Amino acid sequence: MAEISPIAAVYALAVIVFVYLLYKKGQKKYSRRIEPLSKEEFPLRDFFPIGYVLLDMVGYQYGTSFDRKLRSQLREIHDPDYTEYYLSVYWCAAASYLALGLLVSAMMAVAAGLSGALGGILLGVILAYVSFEDIKKKVETRHLQIAIEMPDFTNKILILSGAGMTIRAALIKISHEMASNSPLYEELAYSVRMLENGATEEAALERLNVRCNTPQMRRFTSVILQNLHRGGSDVIGALQDIGREQWAERKAAAKKVAEEADTKLLFPMMLMLGAVVLMTVAPAVMSMQI
């Protein structure tokens, strides 16, 4: 059995005691704050009290340019009223992952010496990075879904407007007829509820624009808002132009999805090819050895 380095043992003990104290302090103070979080979205949420305490210790103020970018992204994937809450949650998750990486490094230091401790620290850094990349990935997926749905949505507005409906009535009709099981129609349903509760078209469309935050939606809402009080053929003509652009963008988005699917299939195909080669070559090698 390899002898444990005294330095590694002291390091491991110090890290374990430090992380334990952070956890106990955070659990007492922040347990209610993490209760609303979904286990599916945040599988390691039980360790988040550690992150909250670490953020308190460093006095983090959430005022960097990176935080402003995160706020913009979080307003899309979560309720805008809870943007600050989720901003603190994701930073807390990153800090917790760093602490867990430190804990892993302590165990690796005992098992493989101080050089092995670097692997645990690296793991924590990777997990923290991935937690922020997950936000970006969710936003990109959401934008892609909206880009694919926008041409149909714009076409429905065109048809109803051409039949004599106002934009307000068209939005309400489309929302009531479409199932809200996609990002675009979920946000449309919320904006329509605002209209039905007395909000102005400007307020409802502005919320729809903020929540979707895609070039397609920005162009759409800009045309509607500019021509809302004018009506007539100006709106219909502008929407026809936008509709043609959106169909071209939808083709590009569908092509991107297909390319990503091909990339995801590449690794399983390589595994299958390796298995076939192994099954073919193994009997020949075995016969040569005999």
Instruction: Tell whether the model's pLDDT for residue 85 goes beyond 60.
Output: yes
Instruction: Tell whether the model's pLDDT for residue 224 goes beyond 70.
Output: yes
Q: 132 is written with which tokens?
A: 């922020």
**What mean pLDDT comes out for the span 235-256?**
76
Instruction: Tell whether the model's pLDDT for residue 1 goes beyond 50.
Output: no
Q: Which residue has the higher pLDDT, 241 or 147?
A: 147
DSSP assignment letter at 221: H
Instruction: Tell whether the model's pLDDT for residue 266 goes beyond 90.
Output: no
**What integer pLDDT is reported at residue 164 of this predicted model?**
81
Encode 233-242: b = buried (16+ Cβ within 10 Å), e = exposed: eebeebbeeb
Residues in the chain: 290
Q: What angle do CA 159, 164, 165 make, to 5 degrees?
A: 80
Q: Is 168 helix (H, G, I), strand (E, B) or coil?
A: helix
Q: Which residue has the higher pLDDT, 262 or 106?
A: 106
- The residue whose two tokens read 């309720």 is 79
Instruction: Tell whether the model's pLDDT for residue 107 goes beyond 80.
Output: yes
Residue 135: band (very low, low, confident or very high) from pLDDT cuts 50, 70, 90: very high
**What integer pLDDT is reported at residue 276 of this predicted model?**
60
Q: Could you tell me which residues come within 8 angstroms of residue 114 by beta carbon, excluding any fewer than 6 positions away?
A: 5, 7, 8, 11
Domain ranges of the chain: 6-112, 144-257
The percentage of residues in the chain with a pLDDT greater than 90, rounded to a whole number, is 30
C-alpha 241/C-alpha 222 separation (Å) is 13
Both ends of the chain: CA-CA distance in Å? Answer: 39
**What integer pLDDT is reported at residue 136 of this predicted model?**
92
Instruction: Tell whether the model's pLDDT for residue 281 goes beyond 80.
Output: no
Q: Which residue has the higher pLDDT, 174 or 244?
A: 174
User: What is the tally of helices (H) and strands (E) in the chain?
Assistant: 10, 0
* Rounded alpha-carbon distances, angstroms, from residue 249 to 125, 145, 261: 37, 12, 18
Round the average pLDDT of the chain to a whole number and report it.
83
